[in-house]
Amino acid sequence: AKDTHGHEPHDPCENALLGLGRHPPHSLSVLRHRSPACRSAPLPSSGEMAKSKNHTAHNQSYKNHKNGIKKVKKHKYTSRKGMDPKFLRNQRYAKKHNRAGAADEVEATEE
């Protein structure tokens, strides 16, 4: 049974489920409502549960400030990785001889 324009009749709910409503796709009212004939019709489900919340920052700043936000602890000696090898060698010799000189001075003062 075709209508006066030669088109097959269709269920108004079909358009609503597709998001078309009663109006052509270019109409802005498509976004505002579903057709009255279908308001109680359930939307198709794929059998999956609703998606859960992905992210929230709730309570995080409270937790961060509870014990205070601390400064990063500085190390006593920074890493020498990647430093100039010639400089490092000289540092080793300087420390070694500095210690030896200090030991000689301590012995001299004890006498």
* pLDDT tens sequence across 34-75: 555 555 656 556 677 888 999 999 999 999 999 999 999 999
pTM value surpassing 0.85: no
CA angle 15, 16, 18 (to 5 degrees): 65
- The confidence score (pLDDT) of residue 100 equals 74
Residue identified by tokens 């505002």 is 32
| Domain range list for the chain | 1-39, 83-111
Look at residue 2 and give its three-state secondary structure. coil
- The confidence score (pLDDT) of residue 50 equals 85
- Residue 91: HSE in the Cβ half-sphere, 13 Å Cα cutoff: 7
